Amino acid sequence: MPPKTNPSPNAEKFNETERIKKILSILKETYPNAKPALFFRNPLELLIATILSARCTDEQVNLVTAKLFQKYHTAADYAAAPIEELENAIHSLGFYKTKAKNIKNACQILASQYNGEVPPQMEKLVNLPGVGRKTANVVLGNAFGINEGIVVDTHVSRVSFRLGLTKEKQPEKIEKDLMRCIPKESWTEFSNLIIWHGRKRCKARNPDCPHCELNELCPKIGVKN
């Protein structure tokens, strides 16, 4: 369960439900166009980009996919491509050999079992090579508008902990805490908002608490004064 928080004095007048509602409201006003920074035009492209994003920045991935998506358009294209060709196309990214293998194998499954379409079901997505729950949540929420869960990356982990929404360290446990306190209809939106806030304001090092839009609602757990 989320830990008891010790918020700023001005936030004590809000109960937890009201505090979370205000957090969401402020973040939506601050980041009105919050969405994944990865470039994509369809579910397949988002799936590929998210697989590539492991241990890479979105900027690095976008540089690669700008050319990749011009050459490969369907799951069958990736499935038929020689593995060396895929490796060469993404070699500037970390773990490119594993990622190329996963993309090729995942697309072979999409082409043979799902008519080349990305299935909008969690249980089917996580069975694809290279796809875990976080990647599946990204695709379901942002390509299909399905709130199956909450994306937990390093930003969501850090900011949620500082906000007192979870005391857990493991992504699966963090997600369960967040799913209990964040309204289901806001799960995808919450993920995108928190990720942007983590990048722009609540950074891992030197978070800008004095200028933070959530300053009065945040207990600043783990933040050194």
Is 209 annotated in a binding site? The answer is: yes
Residue in the block written with tokens 């709130």: 147
Which of 35, 153, 200, 203 is labelled catalytic? Answer: 153
| b/e burial code for range 62-90 (CB count within 10 A of at least 16 → b) | bebbeebbeebeebbebbebeeeebbebb
| Whether residue 153 lies in the annotated active site | yes
Which of 99, 104, 134, 220 is labelled catalytic? Answer: 134
Is 56 annotated in a binding site? The answer is: no
Complete DSSP assignment for 75-124: HHHHHHS-HHHHHHHTTTSTTHHHHHHHHHHHHHHHHHHSTTPPPS-HHH
Q: Which token pair is 140?
A: 């379901």
What is the spatial distance between Cα 125 and Cα 47, in angstroms, rounded to a whole number?
9
Burial of 22 (0-12, 13-18, 19+ CB in 10 A): middle
Nearest of 126, 135, 83, 125 to residue 104 by alpha carbon: 83
Is 107 annotated in a binding site? The answer is: no
Residue 225 CB-half CA count within 13 A: 1
Is 202 annotated in a binding site? The answer is: yes
Residues whose CB is less than 8 angstroms from the CB of residue 175 and which lie 6 or more positions away in sequence, other chains included: 133, 149, 150, 152
| Whether residue 134 lies in the annotated active site | yes
Residues annotated within a binding site for [4Fe-4S] cluster: 202, 209, 212, 218
Catalytic positions are: 134, 153
